[in-house]
Amino acid sequence: MADSIKVFAPATVANLTCGFDILGLAINGPGDELVAKKTSGSGVTIVSIEGDEGRLSKDASKNTAGISANQFLQEIDYSGGIEISLYKKMPFGSGMGSSAASAVAGVFAVNELLGRPLNQRELLRFAVEGERIACGSGHADNVAPSLLGGITLVKSYEPLEVLSLPVPPNMYVAVLHPAVEVSTGDARAMLPKEVTMKASVKYAGNLAGFVSALYTNDLGLMRRALIDEIVEPKRAALIPHFYEIKEAALSSEGVIGFGISGSGPAMFALADGLEAIAKAGGVMEGILKKRGISANLYISEVNTAGPKILD
Amino acid sequence: MADSIKVFAPATVANLTCGFDILGLAINGPGDELVAKKTSGSGVTIVSIEGDEGRLSKDASKNTAGISANQFLQEIDYSGGIEISLYKKMPFGSGMGSSAASAVAGVFAVNELLGRPLNQRELLRFAVEGERIACGSGHADNVAPSLLGGITLVKSYEPLEVLSLPVPPNMYVAVLHPAVEVSTGDARAMLPKEVTMKASVKYAGNLAGFVSALYTNDLGLMRRALIDEIVEPKRAALIPHFYEIKEAALSSEGVIGFGISGSGPAMFALADGLEAIAKAGGVMEGILKKRGISANLYISEVNTAGPKILD
C-alpha cells in the first residue's frame, strides 16, 4: 500500500430547485484536490492549503477536510498520523459545495490510503460531521452527492438516510458562478422560519414528482417539477439579474430546469444533451457579460462516480 | 349501446401517512354503486339514493355524483337527459372517500354510457369539480385513486397533474373504521395553517423517499418513509385508542405502514401479503372490540383497476 494518495472530490449543486436542503447532484468539475500522507505522530495535520486566498484554517479541528478525516481515524481506531495538503480548486461562498468537497476529499483520501476499511456510504457521516463542526449545520445535501456521485436525496436527517436516485442518461449541467459573494449564513438568514401548509404541500408534490420523473426518465415532468416558490423568491435578490437569466435559460432549447445552486450566487441549468446545455450556459453567461459582471461557467455531465483517486 | 349502465367506484385511503393532501390509494371494497340511464329531458336527475340514511341531497347540483356528471355533459355538449340512481355502500364521514367515490361513479358511468367520448384520465377534473362544489374544497387525493386505481400522487393542483405510481406486487391494505364520526370540516379545522421549514423538509423527504421506494419495491424504505409528524399528532385525538392501535399494527409481522385514512376516523395499515394484513387487521380491530367500540374492517389488495362496469 502506498504511503501517500492524491484524490479529487467534486463540486455539487444542492437544493436542485425542488428539493431544498435534501436534494443534490455532483458535477465533474470543478472540485477539490487533496493529498493524504502517512506520517509518524498521530491524528491529522494540515500541512498546506493552496488556492484558498488564506481564508481557511489549517487547524485540522476547524477545517472540514481535517475534521472528517480525524473523525474517521477515531472511528477505525487508527493511531498513526496523517498529513493533508489541500488544493482548493473551486470558489468559496459560491453555492457549489466548497466545504463539502473538502470534507469528502479528506475522508475519502484517508479511507483509500488505509486500504478502505469502510465502504463509501459509511463515510457519509464523517463528512456530514465535518460540515456540522466547521459550518455550524450538519447539512448533507452537498456532501452526499460529492461522496456518492449522481443525484442524491437526503430522505431523513434523524437518522441520516441518503438515497441514490436514477440519473437520466443524457443529463448535462451548467453552473454559472458570478463574481459576487454570498455567505451561506446570510443566505440562510433570508429563509422563512415557517411556511404555509399549502406551500409545504406544493413543495412536497414537486419534489415527489421530480423523483418519480427520474425513475421514468420523463423530462417534461422533471421540468414541471423543478419549481421553488419558497426559497428562490427570497434568495433571488442576492443574485444579479437572476430573473432575466432564469427566463433566458428556460427558453433555451432542451433545458429541463434552472435554479440557484445551493445558497447561491451560482445558478445552474439542466438540459438534455451536451449541445443544449452548452447553448443554455452561453446564454446565461452572456447576460452577465454584457453587464460587465465576470462569471465562471462550468459545463459537465452529471458526475455519477463521486470522488476519485488521481495518482 | 345500452340505455342504462351500472358501475362501481372504490373507496380510497388518502394522505397515506406521508403524503398529506396529495397521496392516495384505492381499495377493492367498499365502494359506491350507481346506475345511469338515458332519458328524455336534459341534464342529470338523481332519482334515488339508497343507503345514505337521508343525508345526501337529491339535488344534482349539490351531490358530487350529480355535479361531476353534469359538468361532463356540458363539456361534451350532450343535450339529452340522464337519470342517476345512487347506492351508497360505504360509510359517511369515515375518511374513506365517500363523496369522491360518488363523484367518480357519476362521471365514469355517464362517460361509459355515452360510448366513452373522453378517456379515464380526462374525467379527473369533473370529479374534482364535484368535490369542490359539494364539499367546498377541490381535493383530488381521493378522486384520483378512485378514478385511476392504484397509488396516485397529485403532483400539483394548479395545473392539476396526477401521477400514477408503481404498486408493489404483494401490497395489501386493511382499513378499520370505528363507529365514531369525524366531519372533514372538523378534521381540517385542526390542521396547522403553518409549519416550520424543518417540518416541511421532513415531510417532503419522507414523501420523496416513499415514491422512490415504490419504484424500487423497497419495503423497508417504505416503512421508514410512512411517517407523519404534522397532521397525525393533531387528528389522533379524534380517534379512539389511536396510539395503541398504531403500535399494535406496526408490531404485527409484515406491516409496512399505518396511519389515519383521509381525515379519519378510519385507520389503515399496509402489509406485504394477505396473511400479514389479515393478522394486522385483526389485531387492530381487537383493540376496539375489547373496549366495546364497534368497527368495520375491510381487507383488500390495492385496487389497480379503479371504477368498473357491474352489469
Residue A203 CB contacts under 8 Å (≥ 6 apart), including other chains: A18, A20, A195, A228, A229, A230, B200, B204
Q: Rg (Cα) of chain B, in Å, rounded?
A: 19
- B271/B232 same-domain check: yes
pLDDT-derived band at A20 (thresholds 50, 70, 90) equals very high
Task: Examine the pLDDT at A48 and tell me if it is beyond 80.
Answer: yes
pLDDT-derived band at B188 (thresholds 50, 70, 90) equals confident
User: Residues B300, B249: contact at Cβ < 8 Å?
Assistant: no
Nearest to B161 among A19, A197, A224 (CB): A224
Q: Could you tell me the end-to-end alpha-carbon distance of chain A, in angstroms, rounded to an integer?
A: 13
Nearest in space to B64 (alpha carbons), one of B90, B103, B33: B103
Residues of B designated catalytic: 131, 184
- B8-43 pLDDT tens trace: 999 999 999 999 999 999 999 999 999 999 999 899
Within 13 Å, how many C-alpha atoms sit on residue A61's CB side? 1
Give the distance from residue B258's alpha carbon to the nearest chain A alpha carbon, in angstroms: 19
Within 10 angstroms of residue B258's Cβ, the number of other Cβ atoms is: 26
Domain containing A65 equals 4-165+304-309
Q: DSSP state, A166?
A: P
Instruction: Return the CATH number at B250.
Output: 3.30.70.890
User: Residues B34, B109: contact at Cβ < 8 Å?
Assistant: yes
- B97/B65 same-domain check: yes
Residue B200 CB contacts under 8 Å (≥ 6 apart), including other chains: A195, A199, A200, A203, A204, A230
Cell of A176: 454559472
Give the C-alpha separation, A168 to A214, whole Å.
7
B137 vs A: CB within 8 A: no
Give the C-alpha separation, B270 to B256, whole Å.
5
- B138/B187 same-domain check: no
Per-residue model confidence (pLDDT) at position B128: 96
- B215/B151 same-domain check: no
Determine, for residues A207 and B206 on separate chains, whether the beta-carbon distance falls below 8 Å: no
- A136/A198 same-domain check: no
- B160/B45 same-domain check: yes
Task: Examine the pLDDT at A88 and tell me if it is beyond 80.
Answer: yes
Q: Is residue B306 part of a domain?
A: no
Per-residue model confidence (pLDDT) at position A296: 96
Max Cα–Cα distance, chain A, nearest Å? 58
Per-residue model confidence (pLDDT) at position B48: 95
User: Residues B165, B302: contact at Cβ < 8 Å?
Assistant: no
Determine, for residues A194 and B191 on separate chains, whether the beta-carbon distance falls below 8 Å: no
Give the C-alpha separation, B169 to A151, whole Å.
27
Nearest to B201 among A21, A208, A210 (CB): A21
B156 vs A: CB within 8 A: yes
Determine, for residues A197 and B191 on separate chains, whether the beta-carbon distance falls below 8 Å: yes
Top pLDDT among A60 and A275 is at A275
Q: Beta partners for B36?
A: B5, B84
How many structural domains are present in chain A? 2
Per-residue model confidence (pLDDT) at position A2: 85
B100 is in an annotated binding site: yes
CA angle at B182 for the pair B301 and B290, rounded to the nearest 5°: 70
pLDDT-derived band at A185 (thresholds 50, 70, 90) equals confident
Give the C-alpha separation, B39 to A67, whole Å.
78
Per-residue model confidence (pLDDT) at position B182: 74
Q: Is residue B309 part of a domain?
A: no
E strands, A74-131, where?
81-87
A215 vs B: CB within 8 A: yes
Q: Determine the 3-state secondary structure of B283 from DSSP.
A: helix
Determine, for residues A224 and B153 on separate chains, whether the beta-carbon distance falls below 8 Å: no
pLDDT-derived band at B1 (thresholds 50, 70, 90) equals low
Q: Supply the ipTM of this predicted assembly.
A: 0.95
Q: Is residue B308 part of a domain?
A: no
Determine, for residues A221 and B20 on separate chains, whether the beta-carbon distance falls below 8 Å: no
- A122/A240 same-domain check: no
E strands, chain A, where?
4-14, 23-39, 43-50, 81-87, 151-157, 160-165, 171-178, 194-196, 255-260, 267-272, 295-301, 308-309
Task: Examine the pLDDT at A211 and tell me if it is beyond 90.
Answer: yes
Q: Could you tell me the end-to-end alpha-carbon distance of chain B, in angstroms, rounded to an integer?
A: 13
B195 vs A: CB within 8 A: yes
What is each CA distance from A236 to A187, A190, A207, A241, A246, in whole angstroms? Answer: 10, 10, 20, 9, 10
Q: Determine the 3-state secondary structure of A129 from DSSP.
A: helix
pLDDT-derived band at A1 (thresholds 50, 70, 90) equals low
pLDDT-derived band at A169 (thresholds 50, 70, 90) equals very high
Determine, for residues B208 and A207 on separate chains, whether the beta-carbon distance falls below 8 Å: yes
Residue A311 CB contacts under 8 Å (≥ 6 apart), including other chains: A4, A5, A6
Q: Determine the 3-state secondary structure of B84 from DSSP.
A: strand
pLDDT-derived band at A188 (thresholds 50, 70, 90) equals confident
Q: Determine the 3-state secondary structure of A106 from DSSP.
A: helix
B236 is in an annotated binding site: no
Give the C-alpha separation, B5 to A295, whole Å.
66
Q: What percent of chain A has pLDDT over 70?
A: 99
How remote is the C-alpha of B43 from its chain's centroid?
A: 27
Give the C-alpha separation, A153 to A214, whole Å.
12
Nearest in space to A105 (alpha carbons), one of A18, A6, A186: A6
- A239-254 pLDDT tens trace: 999 999 999 999 999 9
Nearest to A20 among B191, B193, B201 (CB): B201
Determine, for residues A211 and B208 on separate chains, whether the beta-carbon distance falls below 8 Å: yes
- A104-137 pLDDT tens trace: 999 999 999 999 999 999 999 999 999 998 777 7
Q: Choose the final residue of a domain: B111, B132, B165.
A: B165
- A161/A194 same-domain check: no
Task: Examine the pLDDT at A205 and tell me if it is beyond 70.
Answer: yes
Give the C-alpha separation, A151 to A154, whole Å.
10
- B200/B247 same-domain check: yes
Give the C-alpha separation, A119 to B1, whole Å.
65
Greatest mean pLDDT among A47-61, A143-157, A185-199, B49-63 lies in A143-157
B101 is in an annotated binding site: yes
Q: Choose the final residue of a domain: B135, B165, B195.
A: B165
Q: Is residue B307 part of a domain?
A: no
Per-residue model confidence (pLDDT) at position B15: 97
- B38/B71 same-domain check: yes
- B121/B205 same-domain check: no
Per-residue model confidence (pLDDT) at position A180: 87
Assess whether A232 carries a catalytic annotation: no
Give the distance from residue A220's alpha carbon to the nearest chain B alpha carbon, in angstroms: 12
Q: How many residues does chain B have?
A: 311
User: Which element (helix H / strand E) includes B34?
Assistant: strand B23-39
Chain B residues touching A194 at Cβ < 8 A: 194-197
Nearest to B193 among A196, A208, A209 (CB): A196
Q: Choose the final residue of a domain: B165, B191, B221.
A: B165
Within 13 Å, how many C-alpha atoms sit on residue B83's CB side? 10
Instruction: Return the CATH number at A109.
Output: 3.30.230.10
Cell of A13: 449543486
Quick check: bond before A168 cis, omega within 30?
Answer: no
Q: DSSP state, A236?
A: G
- A119/A191 same-domain check: no
User: Residues A104, A146: contact at Cβ < 8 Å?
Assistant: yes
pLDDT-derived band at B93 (thresholds 50, 70, 90) equals confident
Within 10 angstroms of residue B42's Cβ, the number of other Cβ atoms is: 12
Residue A57 CB contacts under 8 Å (≥ 6 apart), including other chains: A63
Per-residue model confidence (pLDDT) at position A201: 96
| Burial track B227-254 (b if 16+ CB lie within 10 A, e otherwise) | bbebbbeebbebbebbeebbebbeebeb
Per-residue model confidence (pLDDT) at position B189: 83
User: Which element (helix H / strand E) includes B196?
Assistant: strand B194-196
pLDDT-derived band at A235 (thresholds 50, 70, 90) equals very high
Section B161-184 average pLDDT: 93
Q: Is residue B310 part of a domain?
A: no
